[in-house]
Structure 1
Amino acid sequence: MILVTGATGTVGTQVVRILAQRGESVRAMTRSPERASLPAEVVRGDFNDSGSLNAAVAGVDAVFLLDAPGPWIERHDLAMLDAVRAHGVGKVVKLSAIGTGEDTDSRVGGWHLPGEDVLRAGVAAWTILRPSSFATNTLAWVPMIRAGQPVANMTGNGAQGVIDPRDVAEVAVAALTAPGHERRTYTLTGPELLSAPDQVAALGTVLGQTIEVVDVPLDVARQQMLAAGRDPEFVDVAMRGQRLIAEGGNARLTDDVASVLGRPARTYAAWAEEHRADFG
């Protein structure tokens, strides 16, 4: 039995579906099981409720540990790893973030490092996945594109190894179900470095239209996020991350997807083509 946390999110949903398609026994954890429609045993689990975590973990052989980005990740990771240890779970695959452990305060990876450290020190076999920016992040541009407005850009011409979340999910499934991935840390990127204007251009080609880009100063973006009610610590880290990208600090590519899956990582252009209807 494999427990998938964050089972209704971008990567978690894909992991559940791929595991189910391969005939694995899957338990999907969500705070609102009544609203989930997944090919799995769906259970309630709340990272802030240790009783629910113990119930979710009971009887499982492996855990895919995923949580939404935010300053709560350390607390949530440690709570789940306590349950993992208490129930003797044999394997944990953790979704972390690119750059975790590096000497910078500009990355969300700082939220993931404590969980990574505890995982490495434990007795369970572990694999850590550190993906770069998700292609699905650009779905935030849908309202602008549909309204004929320019896409807001906070990262200038800073490029990243944008990755299709399905590739992340497939690597996670491989680590959960196949040998040879224990005590490995994979940095997962797409096959090419792309800036926000590069991605906008790819979308324009797919949609057959010209999409403009407008640069948004980080101080303006920060005030907009705070006005929308976002957590101030989350906003501060997000703005430092945007600055890091703009300065070229996340311009890196790896072959880890290909080494695990035996094929190249999917391109952003291919992802955009498959999601044409979302933007059109």
Structure 2
Amino acid sequence: MKILVTGATGTVGRHVVRGLAGRGVPVRAFVRDADAAARVLGPGVQLAVGDFSDRETLARALSGVDRLFLACGNVPGQIGHERAAIDAAAAAGVGLVVKLSGPDPYPASPLVFDSWHGAIERHLAASGLPMVLLRPRTYLTNLLAHAQAIASTGMLFAPAGAAEISFVDPRDVADVAVECLTGEGHEGRAYTLTGPEAITFERVARELGTAIGQPVRYVHVGDEDARQAMTADGLPPMVADAIVAIFVAQREGWMATTTTDVRDVTGRAPRSVTDFARDHAHLFQPASPAQGDGGEDGRAENALAKAGDLA
């Protein structure tokens, strides 16, 4: 059995590739830059260089492939990219597609990334390909966008209010994907993937503070201030609006429930925010005096500037 992984150097995809390779499963990674991919994935991974917009490279990448892990970044062409991959998979006779989707995907969703995933899921269903849908909540790794501000100021800035959010570790999402790609009995299932509990940003700040041995304080940022900070730092207005809309949905309780799907599929409990904080503490450590403090108060732009993967 050979498996193709798209989005192979992404937040989840890199862990899927490593998980499959660790089991000795033949895996091929669909990438745009072979040198960059080799640095991320390490030696020994078969690379298929191409682009979603190039049907010939998709066809070559899918040649001889039995199963496909379908993932793509939240970019304006995402719907077209994933539809092209689905069509190419159908033409190649792929036996199963495991799609990385959004937390609540449907085409009419007010959240733009969920609406895109909804349209892609509909196309996948219409293709007739056997499929598994993975619907993770907000990734714990999105907190890495706040690392510089925390290291510089000891403060965590976000427009999250008191929202309870069932963050999930991308490593757990990847572990579920590997089980679905290599096992049986998952076809036709949709898994909503969460951490073990819903937590607030106040709790996140406390956990990070414990992990780095320094207090971290959560500071709520207004929606418009967050939007302006992100666009001032170069994020496209559409992306900034989409990120703010996700925070609004979180404050309204859309992402507060948890499921047992990670445990049910993998046989173990999902990683907690405590686990994540411990594993990534070095990235949040306070800056040394020689590095400076990052500005007057490390405002929202420092905390949110690179928060482009909140879906």
TM-score, length basis structure 2: 0.86
Q: Is the 8 A contact 2:136 2:193 kept in 1?
A: yes
Q: 1:150 aligns to what?
A: 155
Q: Please say if 1:109 is aligned against 2:110.
A: no
User: Which amino acid in structure 2 is aligned with residue 243 of structure 1?
Assistant: V
Q: 1:12 aligns to what?
A: 13
User: Which amino acid in structure 2 is aligned with residue 173 of structure 1?
Assistant: V
Higher mean C-alpha displacement, 222-231 vs 113-122: 222-231
Q: Is the 8 A contact 2:98 2:181 kept in 1?
A: yes
CA distance in structure 2 between the aligned counterparts of 1:152 and 1:81, rounded to whole angstroms: 39
Q: 1:234 aligns to what?
A: 239
| Structure 1 stretches of 4+ moved >3 Å | none
Task: Within 5 Å, give how 1:10-49 maps onto structure 2.
Answer: 10-37=11-38, 38=41, 39-49=44-54
User: Which amino acid in structure 1 is aligned with residue 9 of structure 2?
Assistant: T
Q: 1:168 aligns to what?
A: 173
1:102 deviation in Å? 8.2
Q: 1:210 to 1:172 in 2, by over 3 A?
A: same
1:107 deviation in Å? 5.5
Higher mean C-alpha displacement, 262-271 vs 177-186: 262-271
Task: Within 5 Å, give how 1:55-204 maps onto structure 2.
Answer: 55-101=60-106, 104-106=109-111, 108-204=113-209
Q: Please say if 1:278 is aligned against 2:290.
A: no
- Give the CA RMSD over aligned residues: 1.5
Secondary structure, aligned partner of 2:12: helix
CA distance in structure 2 between the aligned counterparts of 1:115 and 1:102, rounded to whole angstroms: 9
Q: Is the 8 A contact 1:2 1:27 kept in 2?
A: yes
Task: Within 5 Å, give how 1:214-253 maps onto structure 2.
Answer: 214-253=219-258
Q: 1:82 to 1:103 in 2, by over 3 A?
A: closer
Q: Is the 8 A contact 2:197 2:258 kept in 1?
A: yes
CA distance in structure 1 between the aligned counterparts of 2:255 and 2:5, rounded to whole angstroms: 28
Higher mean C-alpha displacement, 177-186 vs 259-268: 259-268
Deviations 1:143-184 (A, max 9, x none): 112112421111111111111111100000011010000000
Deviations 1:10-66 (A, max 9, x none): 211100011001000000111111222224101212112222211211211111001
Higher mean C-alpha displacement, 48-57 vs 4-13: 48-57
CA distance in structure 2 between the aligned counterparts of 1:219 and 1:179, rounded to whole angstroms: 47
CA distance in structure 2 between the aligned counterparts of 1:69 and 1:223, rounded to whole angstroms: 20
Higher mean C-alpha displacement, 163-172 vs 234-243: 234-243
Q: Is the 8 A contact 1:125 1:182 kept in 2?
A: yes
Higher mean C-alpha displacement, 30-39 vs 153-162: 30-39
Secondary structure, aligned partner of 1:108: helix
* Structure 1 segments unaligned to the other structure (5+ residues): none
User: Which amino acid in structure 2 is aligned with residue 237 of structure 1?
Assistant: A
CA distance in structure 1 between the aligned counterparts of 2:188 and 2:130, rounded to whole angstroms: 7
* Number of corresponding residues: 280
TM-score, length basis structure 1: 0.95
1:229 deviation in Å? 2.7
Secondary structure, aligned partner of 2:166: coil
Matching residue within 213, 218, 222 for 1:213: 218
